[in-house]
């Protein structure tokens, strides 16, 4: 089987979408499936065994790390030369929509997966008046694919309510070996706490941007004694947030990858995640795998993975008092932190990537069988 994947974002940018993409590519390669990626041209020409067809573009003002632009005739020629059997679109927009037309011209089945909650994003940026248009866009684009996948039951239900006809579930997993309590490291803990490892270390991992509502974490530091905050990641709001957290026990760690990221997760005490919008929230399960209890807003798949009072606490978006209450209950004692951390780890061990990626391959096979059946019927 040969699969072409279209994405609006890819390496060297690092985010949840890119992480899932790379995990999928690794798994497809392990299963002997040939792949190609069509992505913005940002310097990555190959990912391991997978060639990358770069699409020229310009920087996107709201997200300077992204380049946007439609595919070209050259894109189509390179895609045709690859001769894919299936096309998988990672939340199709400027690259994905023309890519769907290319796939239709090549006569191959199409799968679209949902990764970005545009409707909630417009609300966050006070552009809610265009939400009906974004909803219509979602309905039309995803119905243009032969099949659609949602990352959580919440998103699945929302898409069905919008009128998207066939919506399956592509659950998210975690690499429980990479994110593991064994990576706990005294030196990393000292860095996260800025030299105060005896304090309770709160950890945030993700994009440093306004929709993540990281500023809401400041009251925890003011109202919960002995807490410190470490923020791993980068993004357009970093300078403003560094000023916001000035004179507080907060430390900006920047991007961390590989073993350093594994050590950061495992060396903290509580994972905090106040985001206003997520389609799943992959970092939440990564933190749980590393043995951290979680305090997170009820977005994306958070309600599906966090067990109240056992592995963490959840709160409605923007409810700072409930967030602080969750932190207070976990931070009541070291024994409580350790107990909930063990429960979080035990749950995460049941959420493996290989099984979930095999479900995607099964859908590729089903789409090919359906296409073949339609051809036989037509003949």
Residue 33 lies in domain: 2-173+352-378
What is the domain-level CATH number for residue 21? 3.40.50.2000
HSE of 145 in the Cβ direction (CA atoms, 13 Å)? 33
User: What are the residue ranges of helices labelled H in the chain?
Assistant: 16-30, 73-82, 96-106, 118-124, 131-143, 153-162, 186-192, 218-223, 238-244, 258-267, 282-289, 302-305, 320-330, 334-348, 353-378
Beta-carbon contacts of residue 212 (< 8 Å; ≥ 6 apart):
204, 206, 237, 274, 275, 276
Residues 232 and 113 in one domain: no
Residues 132 and 192 in one domain: no
Percent of the chain with pLDDT over 70: 94
Q: What is the mean pLDDT of residues 117-126?
A: 59
Question: For residue 125, is pLDDT > 80?
Answer: no
Q: What pLDDT, in 10s, does the model give residues 185-212?
A: 999 999 999 999 999 999 999 999 999 9
Pairing state of beta strands 147-150 and 110-113?
parallel
Q: What is the mean pLDDT of residues 292-302?
A: 94
Q: How confident is the model at residue 379 (pLDDT cuts 50, 70, 90)?
A: very low
Q: What pLDDT, in 10s, does the model give residues 56-96?
A: 988 776 666 677 889 999 999 999 999 999 999 999 999 99
Residues 193 and 141 in one domain: no
Residues 260 and 133 in one domain: no
Residues 128 and 194 in one domain: no
Percent of the chain with pLDDT over 90: 81
How far is the CA of 42 from the CAs of 9, 110, 235, 302, 374, in angstroms?
9, 25, 17, 32, 39
- Considering only the C-alpha atoms of the chain, give the largest distance between any 2 of them, rounded to a whole number of Å: 74
Residues 13 and 82 in one domain: yes
Beta-carbon contacts of residue 255 (< 8 Å; ≥ 6 apart):
14, 232, 233, 234
| Cα gap 330→332, rounded to integer Å | 5
Residues 210 and 258 in one domain: yes
Strand partners, 36: 4
Residues 190 and 246 in one domain: yes
Residues 361 and 336 in one domain: no
- What pLDDT is stored for residue 123 in this prediction? 58
Cβ atoms of 9 and 96 closer than 8 Å: no
pTM for the full predicted model: 0.78
Residues 325 and 370 in one domain: no
- What pLDDT is stored for residue 116 in this prediction? 74
- Cα dihedral 20, 173, 147, 163 sign: negative
Residues 190 and 148 in one domain: no
Which is higher by pLDDT, 320 or 64? 320
Q: What is the CA radius of gyration of the chain?
A: 21
Query: How many domains are contained in the chain?
Result: 2
Q: What is the mean pLDDT of residues 367-375?
A: 80
């Amino acid at each position: 089987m040969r699969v072409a994947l279209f994405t609006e974002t890819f390496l060297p940018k690092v985010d949840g979408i890119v992480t899932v993409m790379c995990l999928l590519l690794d798994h497809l390669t392990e299963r002997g499936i040939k792949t190609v990626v069509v992505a913005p041209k940002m310097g990555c020409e190959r990912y391991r065994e997978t060639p990358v067809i770069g699409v020229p573009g310009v920087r996107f003002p709201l997200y300077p790390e992204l380049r946007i632009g439609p595919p070209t005739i050259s894109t189509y020629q390179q895609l045709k030369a690859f001769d894919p059997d299936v096309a998988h679109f990672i939340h199709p927009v400027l690259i994905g929509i023309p890519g769907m037309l290319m796939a239709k011209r090549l006569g191959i089945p199409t799968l679209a997966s949902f990764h970005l909650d545009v409707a909630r994003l417009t609300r966050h940026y006070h552009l809610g008046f265009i939400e009906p248009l974004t909803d219509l866009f979602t309905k039309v684009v995803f119905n243009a694919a032969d099949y659609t996948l949602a990352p959580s039951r919440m998103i699945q239900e929302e898409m069905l309510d919008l009128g998207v006809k066939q919506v399956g579930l592509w659950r998210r997993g975690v690499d429980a070996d990479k994110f593991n309590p064994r990576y706990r490291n005294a030196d990393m803990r000292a860095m996260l706490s800025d030299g105060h490892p005896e304090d309770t270390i709160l950890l945030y991992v993700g994009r440093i941007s306004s929709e993540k509502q990281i500023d809401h974490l400041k009251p925890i530091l003011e109202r919960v004694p002995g807490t410190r905050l470490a923020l791993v990641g980068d993004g357009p709001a970093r300078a403003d947030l560094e000023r916001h957290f000035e004179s507080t026990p907060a430390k900006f760690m920047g991007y961390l990858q590989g073993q350093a990221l594994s050590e950061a997760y495992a060396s903290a005490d509580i994972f905090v995640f106040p985001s206003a919008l997520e389609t799943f929230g992959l970092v939440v399960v990564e933190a749980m795998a590393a043995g951290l209890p979680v305090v997170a807003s009820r977005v994306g798949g958070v309600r599906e993975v966090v067990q109240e009072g056992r592995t963490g606490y959840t709160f409605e978006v923007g409810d700072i008092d409930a967030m602080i209450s969750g932190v207070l209950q976990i931070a009541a004692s070291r024994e409580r932190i350790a107990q909930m951390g063990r429960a979080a780890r035990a749950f995460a061990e049941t959420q493996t990537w290989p099984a979930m990626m095999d479900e995607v391959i099964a859908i590729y096979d089903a789409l090919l069988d359906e296409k073949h059946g339609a051809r036989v019927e037509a003949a």
